Each structure stands twice: as C-alpha cells, then as structure tokens.
Structure 1
C-alpha cells in the first residue's frame, strides 16, 4: 500500500449528513487539518459541506492541496415507485466535473439517521438489486466506479444482506471495516473471500464491545459513536493490517479512506479534537507501509 492511495473523510471530524448529529466544523478547519497531516485526497462529505457547484467544489479542495476521491451517497433503492437513476445522474455529473472517480452508495431506508431500519420483502429486494446494477452501468458510462457500502441502519447491514448483494447484483463493494464488523460480517474474511468484488475501502477500527451492544440492539448506533466506538486505526479490535495485506496481495489498487466517525459537542481548541485521532491513524498506516517495504527487501 502506498500512502498516495490513502484519503481522508470529513466524518472523521464529525461532519455528517444526519440532522442533529453534532457540532459541525467548517470546511476550512477540516481541510486545513487534513493538509497539516499530509493527507492529499478526501471524500466530499455530506451535501452542503463543500460548495455545490462542481468547479467550486474542486477549487476548494485544490486550495488545500487535496484531490477529490468521490463521496458517500445514501439513496432509496428499494421503492418500485421511485427511480433513483435521474438523481444519481446529476450526482455523477458533479463527480466528473470535480475529478472524482468513486460513488459510494448506501441503501437508504428513507428514515432519518441510522438507529432504525426496515426489513425488505421480495419485491423490495428485487427492486434494490436491479437499481444497483442500473446505477453501476450509469456510473460506468461516466467513467466512475459505483460501489455499495454495507452500513449500519441501512437495508444492507448484516451478513445475509451482504451475501444477497454479492449473489444478486454485479456492483462491487465498499469494504467498510467498521460497519461490516458491527453488522456481523468479518471484514478480513470478506476481503479474503471476494477480493475481486471490492473496489473501495473505508478503514475503521472499532471497539468490539460497543459493536456487540449495537448488534444486539442494547445501544443505538448514535450513542455508541458518541461514546467512542470508533478508535484510531490500530487501537481497536479490527485487524486493519491483515485486511490491507489481504487486499494488496489480491491486487487491490483502490483507495483506502480513513474514517473514525465521531460526534462533537462543541468546537475543539485549535490543534486538538478529531485531528489527534486522525494523526494516530496516519502514523499507523505509515508504519504499515514501512513494514511492507521491509518485507519486500527481506
């Protein structure tokens, strides 16, 4: 893994699309701290975080020396009376204009937040899987790779749901190491089993105790995030090193996006707050890179 394939994400600074999620930092602070850490690329963050106009969005990132990777787009995919493709087409055009190459879809329930979810019937599943392939084809026409992000509180969260997507559609996955673990899928095992279906990676480390509470319904996802369920890379219970090694060994050449979702209650003092955790994650990945070079030279 080369560090030029490592990107940041505004959610690591608490910037989230969920209403009432927490205090939202400004783009200048978030992007400035990314630059200070040596991060050279980022996902967009939620609508409204960066300028809406694609050229302005790209210019804002360029002002901080950042490339556009793409972004997380929750969309309703299961409703047979609702066609998601026209909305996605507009999103794809903005991605192209900003120089981004990866669309990260989530199967939105249509509800607010990620603390409740729906169970789909067969019609809903048929519609969802068909729409994933339609969106994948639309993205490819624009030169963009569409991926499906298994995500807590969406319609594709748990192991059987991930399997159904793999079996019933052609879309590749965004391997989110945290959300998969919380949903009951071993992300390392998935990386080893189907590396050819993984086109994007979100690296998260997780406290397994909190993850288990969320999985059993004894704590909401939001409460677990607020209590620190997500940890700096190398400080939790996910085998980040093993996952990176498995992907690289299988020929993966996509992005690794660092994400430690957090919820802020106020504005941190300059130089403190989420940047400290991201700094530890960057240091961890640099250590992996040094280790890999050592193995290559051995």
Structure 2
C-alpha cells in the first residue's frame, strides 16, 4: 500500500496552545480558538487534550472537530501505573472509550506521578516495575477491546523518563512507543539513536524542539518542568537543539506511516491577543516539517 504523504499525517495538540491536564498549569485557551488556529496552519487532526476540553461526549467531540474540518487522532492518558497493582483504571477506561467512540486511533499512555504533576522525579523500585508492567498490560487489553493502539510516552516527571527506564521498558515489554523528541532528550535519551535502534517500536510521534540550555536545568533538577516551559524550553521545530530533520528522515526511510503531532508545551497566565500567541510557532514548525519531509528518502516534494 502506498505511503500517505507527510502533509496528510500532521496533527496538533491542545498543549501547544497551553491547554494541559496538569494541576495549576495556567490559563486555558478556548477550544473554538485553538481548533480554528490549528486548521488555519494546515493541521489535519488533533489529539484530544484534557478530559472534557473538546466536549463531554463522543458526539460533541466529533461535532466540534467537524466544524474545523479536523479529525481526532488520539489522546494523552496519564495513569499512576507503578503505584498499586490494583490501581483504579475506571477513569482511564472512560477516556479510552471516549477516544474510540470519537474516532481516534491511538491511546498515548504515561506513567504519571501520584500527584499528577511533572515537576519532580518519579523513582520506580524493582518491586514496582512488575506492577507498572502489569497495569500497562491491563490498559493495553482495554484499549485493544476498543480497537485502539496503545503507545507509552516517556515523559519528564513520570516513571518512564530516564534513559535507563526507557531501555528497561523496551526490554521488559513489547509496548509501542510514542516518540516524544523533547521529553526523551530532556530525560537523557538521544531520540535519533532510539529511532535507529528501535524503529519497529515507534508507532506515534510527538515532535518537539528543545533549547538545550534550559533542558539541562530540568535534567539536573534545578528547574521545575512548568517553570522551564515558561522560560522557553521549547523552540519552533528547526530552531532548537534536536535533530528533527535527521529523526524525520530516519523514520520515513524506515517506512513510518504514523502521525507527526506538533506538540510543543506552552503555558500562559492570560489569553493572548488575537493574532498573537502560539500560532506563530506552530506555523513555523509545520513549515519546517514539510521542508525536511521533502528531503527524506522516498518522499518527493510533490508528496508533501
């Protein structure tokens, strides 16, 4: 089957507009503006965002997305997987059910901290690893029952953050990965190296570019994650220190056919004025992705 061109596989995420599930994150821009701006920069789809942000029912989510000619690709579902072997998965199950009914393809799990924040390290003991893996398998089975693919998202401030934990996950589980180029780098994993070594494990991609100087303060524990985001942790694609071009080229050469999600975390204290805010960075990121995709092996400029 011919591979779909990259331009048809670019999605957005509400977090690029400052909309986040983490407690105390900041001002939440209205969905109507966020979706309108996504469509205006050429995005074809979006992830769901926090529970209820795009609507409280699948029908409401579908209707809201249809207003902007967008579809739903997936959603981020953080769960404290390592804490308790009998952890309550009802909220996660409800989120998965909504994703499936609203037309999504992918569940993006994260092994979140017990308090839901991303501002501190989350150590996992040898006793807790089997618990994490067992709960992950429980959720994978639930997602499969709904016809969805499960990916695990290495993420700052979660149980799967460091290079050691990412490699252990790859060794001890066959779960697919959400390759987040920013969170991996901050956690100590070179994303291009991971792509080259474990291409077959990548089924979903979050593209971020990172300013290494700010990222280093997070990795060292000197800056809380949200403070780093506000200090300019993320740059438009091609303007930071991640080899986005190399990563996209490697994925395309390997036959990757999944989504590239423009996901550069932001946080605001108030509503940006019309015509300002994150839309400029997202527009530049989309343009950069299309430019490098046209140079990737097996991808013609016409296919962009």
TM-score normalised per structure 1: 0.95
Q: Which runs of 5+ in 1 are unaligned?
A: none
Match of 1:47 among 23, 35, 51: 51
**Alignment partner, residue 229 of structure 1:** 233
**Alignment partner, residue 29 of structure 2:** 25
Please, which moves more after superposition, 41-50 or 182-191?
A: 41-50
* 1:191 and 2:195 matched: yes
Match of 1:14 among 11, 18, 22: 18
* 1:68 and 2:72 matched: yes
Cα deviation 1:256-281 (Å, max 9, x = unaligned): 10111111122111111100100110
Cα deviation 1:151-170 (Å, max 9, x = unaligned): 00000000000011111112
**Alignment partner, residue 267 of structure 1:** 271
Q: Is the Cα contact below 8 Å between 2:13 and 2:262 reproduced in 1?
A: yes
Count of equivalent residues: 297
Q: Is the Cα contact below 8 Å between 2:248 and 2:296 reproduced in 1?
A: no
Match of 1:141 among 142, 145, 162: 145
Hey, what's the Cα distance between the residues in 2 that align with 1:290 and 1:197? 24
Cα deviation 1:139-189 (Å, max 9, x = unaligned): 222221000000000000000000111111121110000000000000010
Q: Is the Cα contact below 8 Å between 2:10 and 2:260 reproduced in 1?
A: yes
* 1:150 and 2:162 matched: no
**Alignment partner, residue 79 of structure 1:** 83
Hey, what's the Cα distance between the residues in 2 that align with 1:84 and 1:28? 33
- Structure 2 vs 1, CA of residues 196 and 259 (structure 1 numbering), >3 Å: closer, same or farther? same
Hey, what's the Cα distance between the residues in 2 that align with 1:41 and 1:295? 21
Q: Is the Cα contact below 8 Å between 2:253 and 2:298 reproduced in 1?
A: no
Q: Is the Cα contact below 8 Å between 1:132 and 1:169 reproduced in 2?
A: no
TM-score normalised per structure 2: 0.93
**Alignment partner, residue 57 of structure 1:** 61
Deviation at residue 28 of structure 1 after TM alignment: 0.5
Hey, what's the Cα distance between the residues in 1 that align with 2:298 and 2:141? 41
**Alignment partner, residue 94 of structure 1:** 98
Task: Name the structure with the higher helix share.
Answer: 1
TM alignment of 1:157-168, pairs within 5 A: 157-168=161-172
Hey, what's the Cα distance between the residues in 2 that align with 1:185 and 1:293? 24
Match of 1:170 among 153, 158, 174: 174
Deviation at residue 48 of structure 1 after TM alignment: 2.7
Deviation at residue 118 of structure 1 after TM alignment: 2.7
Q: Is the Cα contact below 8 Å between 2:51 and 2:95 reproduced in 1?
A: no
Secondary structure, counterpart of 2:158 in structure 1:
coil
Deviation at residue 92 of structure 1 after TM alignment: 2.1
Hey, what's the Cα distance between the residues in 2 that align with 1:103 and 1:172? 11
- Structure 2 vs 1, CA of residues 65 and 215 (structure 1 numbering), >3 Å: closer, same or farther? same
**Alignment partner, residue 106 of structure 1:** 110
Cα deviation 1:63-103 (Å, max 9, x = unaligned): 11101011111011113353344443322221111000100
